[in-house]
Amino acid sequence: MTISIVTGVGGFIGSHIAETLLHQGHPVIGVDEFNDYYDPTFKRQNIASFQNHPDFKLVEADILSLDWSELLKEVEVVYHQAAQAGVRASWGTGFRSYTERNINATQVMLEAAKNASSLKRFVFASTSSVYGNAETFPTSEAICPQPVSPYGITKLAAERLCLLYFQNFGVPVAGLRYFTVYGPRQRPDMAFHKFFKAVLNDEAIDIYGDGQQTRDFTFISDAVAANLAAAVAPDAPGEVFNVGGGSRVVLTEIIDTMEEIVGQPIKRNYGEAARGDARHTSADVSKANRILGYQPQVKLKEGLSREWEWIQSLPMYRS
């Protein structure tokens, strides 16, 4: 039985990690401030299935306001999933929330973690956005990060902070660079969620650019598996790992697949390419496979079908 903390527990990935740990018999302390970056109703819904579990404790607060030295007593694993997400919203006046929630919050936790005697692993959620417009595909962790968005800059800074605390204080950090995670509970500002919602409302979907951009998509259960593996793999501390779905797909082809799943044509509005969006992403997951035993299991069409089923079940989308 391992006591874990999951930050961002009301979020997409954090809620799935917490739920999986509880199913495995492990106590979980969940931390989330339920801010309004997107409708907190979704986050409350995400934890509804386990909020009253006897081994679950919810701490509803801003990370920067908490006594982490006290919280980390007896905790063996931290899954730090909380972040200010979103590439497009990271420009302009909103940038301060990215530095506070992605960099400052991580530093406060690491500072406490260096003195946490029971801590065995600090798993940090990073992102493929640190690569920007990578020069080679699939992209390995050896490629120099070149973020093209303020969001990517803050996540890379937090990732580097984690490695500094490993090198200087022995904090057992492992970083996971997620490549476009999707599936049930996906944030409402993410593409697949928006596309399926548009289908429900018989609206056109908005496509940024020409639709020929490619992404490596990772189903949520594969992202969870990577986290659990990073928490126990002996050689994970001090390393960062790509977490991808195993295939690079053109956006327009994905929409064609979605049309098959929903059984109707999807209307499309093409607009200008978004600032800060990488043109292509593709994960080389060989390092994660070698050290974590990571192997993505869920193919894109199956994963999209599961997300479509979930979208249709949401109370807020039922007419």
* Residue-level pLDDT at 313: 93
pLDDT (average), residues 129-135: 91
Q: Are 222 and 298 in contact (CB under 8 A)?
A: yes
Burial class from Cβ neighbours inside 10 Å (0-12, 13-18, 19+) for residue 35 reads: middle
Q: Domain residues of the chain, as ranges? A: 4-182+219-244+283-296
Local confidence band at 319 (pLDDT 50, 70, 90 cut-offs): low
The token pair at 81 is 């999933």
Say whether domain 4-182+219-244+283-296 belongs to CATH 3.40.50.720: yes
Q: Are 246 and 301 in contact (CB under 8 A)?
A: no
Over the stretch 190-217, which tens digit does the pLDDT of each residue have?
999 999 999 999 999 999 889 899 999 9
Q: Greatest CA span in the chain, whole angstroms?
A: 57
Local confidence band at 246 (pLDDT 50, 70, 90 cut-offs): confident
Q: Which residues are catalytic?
A: 151
pTM, full prediction = 0.96
